[in-house]
């Protein structure tokens, strides 16, 4: 019986204008986003350097003589081949780190000068799903109950041996299937386009991420389908349910997610840049140098200073991320926020990805530092004293050596498994929202007077 | 006759449920967003005041002319409540002998996390990943949606209830009916709009640290008029489209699709399409030309073959180490003076050359960004956004204007500084403080400090407090004026005209269409 309901509803949807309109719009936006992504990805890949200039010269060798003075080595984030799935806040976040061999200096984003002219938000697939398809969910469902009730067909339907739960479920499944058709067809078209363009090669892990993203989107859409049904069940006529859905949609999709930054700013406590600078200035006082110190002692004290500076930078960075996360936790009451956070994690973007990059940068620096120290130990002419910002003299090796794999920076994206683990709670939350919406809709529908309300 | 229809429509609208819900939602939204942005403005204003004081103090402490550097702070616009503008635009323009400000060379606002920050305000760069909304956005999405909800059944509803026939039996013609419904809806829409504006004004009035002049109030008035114009054009479009559907609920659906296209798909998709057409190669040209210019300067300097004692010679600016300023012997300072007369003009020329290269790149990007704007202009929401941005002065154009003005200011400043570059005051004060000439003993002490403490020692050696600051009172004071309200209105005019034209066209089309609207 359920399938009869689903089939009827689905056919209704598939031949309706709203379905084609949503289809066309979704397809256009998703394909555009792939096109633009591939142009940008090609550029990013050209610019992504394997060789860390300032540490490693063009022959791939490292000059130990000057390395302690080089504080401008830059490592960059590797561009993600799935950038078309999630790119929204990405362009505002730091994407590179400047370091000396003895410590990270800054995290920043080079001002690609054209960026100041970009005021438009990125249209990635996450955006299409959160804004357009969730709106489509409303369009397909807003009058499914209230419309039938007004037309008087609901009583006819219920005259058949079919339970109310079956009807509600049937309408839900039909709308979800229709949306799924739109979404998955567009995903396929997008993926084919991506393959044809050939700029981004997706590896095995990327396909898993894409699959997870599709699954996640379907769960999100199912929450919105229920939201539409909820509006339809609770209102007298289709017009009112449309109005109710629109306001709910507006609040969930635009208002609450946008409040995140504001809430984070109001509630979270982050150090001011000036405070951090003051803290950095105090470090030398904690590790003081005295004229009586031996050369080794001077070297180790100065290294301690630098490592304290790096620790300060990292803890400052973590406090900033914590502030962002706090704001986001508050916005999770909206499924749209929960969805975009989960998508961000699964795809590997946002602060999740940035934190990973910083970890990678620190690991690279430490590995490189060890390799340099090892190389120096093999030089009998050196006094084996690495002193930050001191170059020349005979306290450190003057050789030019090849350090092997340690000299190259390899940024790795979080794997699909890690992304899924990080997104787990958001997924759980989305499922909860779906279940709650279903429960409330069912509870209400089971008790509803199905006769057309007078005066509508 | 129209008056009667308008009154009836207005009363019907005002008593409807959708009006109540819409009013509450929009008042709530505008209240929240307004509160947040007024607070945000107040914080940025505080930061601006602090920055101005800080930069003024820094300028007053300048000890040699080559180090004169003016930071021109851009005051936040009070109307940013209505249009927040790009968050990537820098808030400070740097003007100095060796740097000509240009549209894209300031870089001040990039997300950067480091240990050298100076801001005393908690300013989390990661928070920028949240998109921010402003009142212009609320008006262009929520109130436009409201407009759709008000008119979607104005004809189909009457027809379904059978009252359309009755209405048309009266002496009022169809066109009158249309005009009446249009005006009635517009007046209804003006209510939540007015409420929103009143909320902002109350927030302003209640805020302890804000006060505004007549210019700002005039600006608010203009934004109000522009909003009304936008709503009227949107209403006209909705009314026109609604005349093509005969059933209310399907009509609502078409209109919602139209709404989502105009307010979401075109602005987001069109802007994105333009991204695809971003001019390629411009950046490479800029980089190679800039490299050429700097290589040219390096060669020239190489050719002169001047070696400062200590060997530190910065090719692109004229700043030397502390040793050069206080550690010079008088003999060395005299040599330097002779050398400077040849070199400083070159370096200043280099600053100009570099500016020209960067600026031509910037203008290339700017014209691309204008193309992109044109691409999304078919959306009424975009036109409205442009108008409000221009009125608020948060658009790129206004910023470009400020950059140009600060460049003019630099010209005035250079007229004052250029003669100074031929004097020793350009780079040293050793002639005024002969007792600071480096003795053998001093130099040994400094050397040991540098070895022990590296960079920090340099700061200690530069015992600036012993040297008095330069008297810069006769230098032209930094003056970069924001555009006045009339100028901003002029820049907002083209998009305003577009909105007006859209209203007229859609009303005209509706009037033609309404004659053929089926009665049965």
Q: Is the pLDDT of residue A438 over 50?
A: yes
Confidence of residue A185 (pLDDT cuts 50, 70, 90): very high
Does ipTM surpass 0.95 in this model? no
Between CA A180 and CA A71 the distance in angstroms is: 52
* CA pair distance A251, B138, nearest whole angstrom: 11
The pLDDT tens digits for B56-110 are 888 888 888 888 889 888 889 999 899 887 766 778 888 988 888 888 765 545 5
| β-sheet bridge partners, residue B93 | B72
Q: For B436, which DSSP code?
A: G
Average pLDDT over residues A186-213: 92
Q: Quick check: A223 pLDDT over 90?
A: yes
What is the Cα B52 distance to its own chain's centre? 18
* A270: contact with B, CB 8 A cutoff: yes
CA separation for the pair B412, B70 (Å, rounded) = 12
Residue A50 pLDDT exceeds 80:
no
Angular region, A268: left φ>0, alpha ψ -120 to 50, beta rest: beta
Least confident span in A408-417, B39-48, B157-166:
B157-166
CA–CA dist B220, B222 (Å, integer) = 5
Q: Average pLDDT, stretch B495-510?
A: 95
Kindly give, in sequence order, each residue whose CB lies less than 8 Å from that of residue B477, ignoring residues fewer than 6 positions away: none
Q: Secondary structure of B129-141 in the HEC alphabet?
A: HCCCCCHHHHHHH
Mean pLDDT of B434-450: 64
Alpha carbons A23 and B257: distance in angstroms, whole number: 12
- Rounded to an integer, the average pLDDT of B111-119 is 74
Closest to B497 measured CA to CA, from B485, B509, B505: B505
CA distance A404 to chain B (A): 30
pLDDT for B310: 44
Report the distance separating Cα B429 and Cα B432, nearest Å: 5
Distance from C-alpha of A443 to C-alpha of A215, rounded to nearest angstrom: 27
Q: Is B488 helix (H, G, I), strand (E, B) or coil?
A: helix
pLDDT at B491 over 80: yes
Q: What is the mean pLDDT of chain A?
A: 87
Q: What pLDDT is attached to residue B311?
A: 44
Chosen for mutation from A19, A68, A97, A123 (greatest number of chain B CBs closer than 10 Å) is: A123
| Per-residue model confidence (pLDDT) at position A225 | 95
How close is the nearest chain A Cα to the Cα of B75, in Å?
A: 18
The pLDDT of residue A359 is 95
Instruction: Report CB contact under 8 Å: B115, A147.
Output: no
pLDDT-derived band at B210, boundaries 50, 70, 90: confident
Per-residue pLDDT at B93: 86
Residue B328 pLDDT: 65
Q: pLDDT tens digits, residue range B399-423?
A: 889 999 999 999 999 999 999 888 8
Chain A: give the shortest CA distance to residue B354, in Å.
Answer: 15
Sign of the C-alpha dihedral, residues A108, A113, A114, A116? positive
Q: Which DSSP helix (H) or strand (E) runs through B344?
A: helix B330-376
Chain A within 8 Å of B88 (Cβ-Cβ)? yes
Task: Supply the pLDDT for residue B327.
Answer: 57
The answer to whether A121 contacts chain B (CB < 8 Å) is: yes
User: Does the beta carbon of B107 lie under 8 angstroms from any beta carbon of chain A?
Assistant: yes
Give the confidence band of A456 by pLDDT, cuts at 50, 70, 90: very low
Q: What is the pLDDT of residues A88-123, one digit of tens each?
A: 667 778 888 999 999 998 888 766 555 656 544 567
**A74 bridge partner residues:** A98
Q: What is the pLDDT of residue A210?
A: 95
Q: For residue B500, what pLDDT band results from cuts at 50, 70 and 90?
A: very high
Torsion of Cα atoms, A27 then A30 then A34 then A37, to 10°: 150
Chain A residues in contact with B257 by the CB 8 A cut-off are: 18, 21-22, 25, 139
Q: Name the average pLDDT for chain B.
A: 82
pLDDT at B323: 45
Q: Distance between CA atoms of A367 and A34, rounded to whole angstroms?
A: 37
CB contacts of A115 in chain B (<8 Å) are 88
pLDDT of residue A324: 86
Question: What is the C-alpha to C-alpha distance for residues A278 and A199, in angstroms, rounded to an integer?
Answer: 46
pLDDT of A57 above 90: no
Backbone angles phi, psi at B407, to 5 degrees: -70, -40
* Residue B316 confidence (pLDDT): 66
pLDDT in tens, A332-342: 999 999 999 99
List A100's β-bridge partners, or say none.
Answer: A103
For A335-379, write each residue's pLDDT tens digit. Answer: 999 999 999 999 988 889 999 999 999 999 999 999 999 998 888
Q: Which residues of B388-413 are buried (b: 16+ CB within 10 A; e: fewer)?
A: bbbbbbbbbbbbebbbebbbebbeeb
Inter-chain touch B114–A105, beta carbons under 8 Å: yes
CB A400 within 8 A of CB A62: yes
Q: What is the pLDDT of residues A287-310, one digit of tens each?
A: 888 878 888 888 899 999 999 999
Do residue A389 and residue B455 have CB atoms under 8 angstroms apart?
A: yes
Residue B277, Cα to own-chain centre: how many angstroms?
A: 23
Q: Which of A111, A251, A321 sits opposite B126 (nearest CB)?
A: A321
Q: Do the beta carbons of residue A36 and residue A52 sit within 8 Å?
A: no
Instruction: Pick the range with the lowest mean pLDDT from A171-180, A427-436, B257-266, B445-454.
Output: B445-454
Distance CA B418, CA A286 (A): 46
**Chain A / chain B CB contacts < 8 angstroms:** 250
Whole-number pLDDT of residue B397? 86
How many Cβ atoms are within 10 Å of A115's Cβ, its own excluded? 18
Share of chain A above pLDDT 70, in %: 95
Sequence-separated (6 or more) residues with CB below 8 Å from residue A341: A328, A332, A350, A423, A426
Instruction: Kindly calculate the radius of gyration of chain A based on its CA atoms and give it in whole angstroms.
Output: 29
Interface mutation target, options A93, A107, A110, A113, chain B, most CBs of B under 10 Å? A113
**Separation CA B346–CA B334 (nearest Å):** 19
Q: Is A115 on the interface with B (CB under 8 A)?
A: yes
Residues of B in contact with A120 (CB under 8 A): 267-268, 271-272
Q: Return the sign of the alpha-carbon dihedral for residues A340, A341, A346, A350.
A: positive
């Amino acid at each position: 019986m359920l399938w009869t309901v689903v089939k009827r509803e689905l056919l209704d949807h598939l031949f309706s204008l709203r379905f084609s309109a949503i289809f066309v719009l979704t397809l256009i936006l998703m394909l555009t986003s792939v096109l633009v992504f591939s142009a940008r990805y090609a550029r990013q890949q050209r610019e992504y350097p394997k060789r860390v200039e300032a540490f490693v010269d063009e022959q791939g060798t490292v000059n130990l003589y000057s390395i302690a003075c080089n504080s401008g080595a830059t490592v960059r984030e590797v561009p993600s081949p799935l950038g078309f799935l999630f790119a929204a806040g990405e362009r505002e976040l730091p994407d590179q780190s400047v370091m000396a061999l003895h410590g990270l200096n800054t995290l920043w984003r080079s001002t690609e000068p054209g960026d100041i002219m970009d005021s438009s938000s990125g249209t990635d697939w996450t955006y299409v799903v959160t804004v357009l398809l969730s709106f489509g969910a409303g369009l397909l469902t807003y009058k499914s109950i209230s419309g039938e009730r007004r037309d008087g067909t609901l009583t006819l339907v219920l005259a058949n041996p079919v339970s109310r739960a079956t009807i509600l479920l049937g309408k839900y499944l039909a709308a979800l299937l229709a949306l799924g058709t739109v979404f998955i067809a567009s995903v396929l078209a997008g993926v084919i386009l991506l393959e044809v363009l050939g700029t981004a090669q997706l590896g095995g892990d990327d396909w898993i991420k894409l699959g997870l993203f599709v699954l996640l989107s379907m769960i999100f859409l199912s929450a919105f389908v229920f939201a539409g049904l909820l509006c339809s069940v609770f209102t007298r006529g289709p017009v009112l349910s449309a109005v109710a859905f629109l306001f709910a949609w507006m609040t969930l999709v635009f208002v609450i997610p946008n409040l995140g930054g504001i809430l984070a700013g109001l509630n979270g406590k982050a150090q001011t840049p000036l405070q951090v600078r003051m803290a950095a200035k105090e470090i030398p006082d904690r590790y003081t140098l005295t004229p009586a110190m031996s050369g080794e002692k001077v070297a180790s004290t100065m290294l301690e200073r630098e490592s304290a500076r790096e620790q300060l930078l990292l803890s400052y960075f973590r406090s900033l991320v914590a502030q962002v996360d706090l704001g986001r936790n508050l916005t999770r009451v909206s499924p749209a926020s929960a969805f975009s956070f989960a998508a961000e994690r699964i795809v590997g973007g946002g602060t999740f990805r940035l934190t990973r990059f910083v970890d990678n940068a620190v690991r690279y620096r430490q590995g490189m530092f060890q390799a340099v120290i090892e190389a120096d130990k093999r030089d009998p002419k050196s006094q084996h004293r690495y002193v930050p910002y001191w170059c020349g003299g005979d306290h450190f090796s003057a050789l030019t050596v090849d350090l092997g794999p340690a000299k190259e920076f390899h940024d790795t994206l979080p794997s699909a498994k890690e992304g899924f683990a990080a997104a787990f709670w958001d997924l759980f939350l989305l499922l909860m929202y779906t279940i709650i919406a279903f429960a409330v809709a069912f509870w209400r529908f089971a008790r509803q007077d199905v006769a057309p309300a007078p005066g509508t | 006759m129209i008056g009667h229809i308008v009154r009836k429509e207005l009363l019907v609208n005002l008593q409807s449920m959708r009006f109540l819900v819409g009013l509450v939602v929009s008042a709530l939204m505008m209240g929240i967003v307004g509160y947040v942005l007024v607070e945000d403005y107040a914080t940025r204003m505080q930061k601006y005041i602090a920055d101005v004081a800080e930069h003024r103090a820094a300028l007053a402490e300048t000890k040699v002319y080559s180090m004169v550097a003016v930071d021109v702070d851009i005051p936040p616009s009070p109307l940013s409540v209505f249009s927040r503008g790009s968050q990537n635009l820098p808030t400070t323009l740097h003007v100095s002998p060796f740097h000509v400000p240009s549209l894209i060379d300031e870089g001040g606002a990039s997300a950067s996390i480091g240990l050298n920050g100076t801001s005393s305000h908690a300013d989390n760069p990661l928070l920028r990943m949240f998109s921010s909304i402003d009142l212009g956005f609320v008006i262009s999405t929520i109130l436009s949606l409201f407009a759709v909800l008000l008119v979607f059944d104005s004809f189909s509803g009457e027809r379904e209830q059978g009252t359309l026939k009755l209405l048309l039996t009266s002496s009022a013609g169809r066109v009158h009916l249309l005009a009446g419904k249009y005006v009635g809806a517009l007046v209804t829409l003006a209510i939540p709009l007015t409420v929103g504006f009143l909320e902002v004004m109350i927030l302003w009035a209640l805020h302890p640290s804000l006060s505004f002049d007549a210019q700002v109030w005039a600006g608010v008035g203009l934004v109000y008029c522009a909003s009304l114009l936008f709503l009227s054009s949107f209403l006209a479009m909705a009314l026109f489209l609604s005349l093509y559907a005969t059933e209310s609920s399907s009509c609502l659906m078409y209109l919602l699709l139209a709404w989502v296209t105009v307010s979401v798909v075109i602005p987001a998709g069109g802007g994105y399409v333009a991204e695809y057409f971003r001019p390629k190669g411009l950046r490479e040209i800029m980089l190679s030309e800039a490299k050429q210019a700097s290589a040219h300067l390096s060669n020239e300097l190489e050719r002169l073959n001047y070696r400062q004692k200590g060997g530190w010679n910065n090719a692109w600016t004229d700043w030397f180490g502390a040793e050069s300023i206080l550690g010079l012997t008088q003999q060395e300072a005299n040599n330097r003076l002779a050398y400077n007369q040849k070199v400083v003009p070159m370096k200043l020329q280099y600053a100009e050359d570099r500016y020209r290269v960067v600026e031509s790149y910037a203008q290339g990007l700017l014209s691309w960004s204008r193309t992109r704007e044109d691409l999304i202009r078919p959306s009424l929401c975009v036109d409205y956004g442009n108008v409000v941005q221009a009125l608020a002065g948060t658009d790129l154009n206004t910023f470009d204007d400020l950059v140009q003005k600060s460049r003019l200011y630099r010209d005035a400043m250079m007229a004052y500084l250029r003669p100074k570059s031929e004097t020793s005051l350009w780079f040293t004060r050793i002639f005024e403080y002969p007792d600071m000439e480096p003795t053998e003993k001093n130099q040994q002490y400094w050397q040991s400090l540098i070895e022990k403490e590296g960079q920090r020692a340099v700061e200690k050696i530069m015992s600036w407090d012993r040297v008095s600051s330069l008297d810069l009172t006769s230098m032209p004071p930094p003056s970069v004026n924001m555009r006045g309200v009339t100028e901003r209105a002029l820049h907002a005019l083209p998009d305003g005209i577009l909105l007006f034209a859209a209203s007229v066209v859609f009303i005209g089309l509706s009037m033609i269409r309404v004659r053929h609207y089926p009665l049965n």
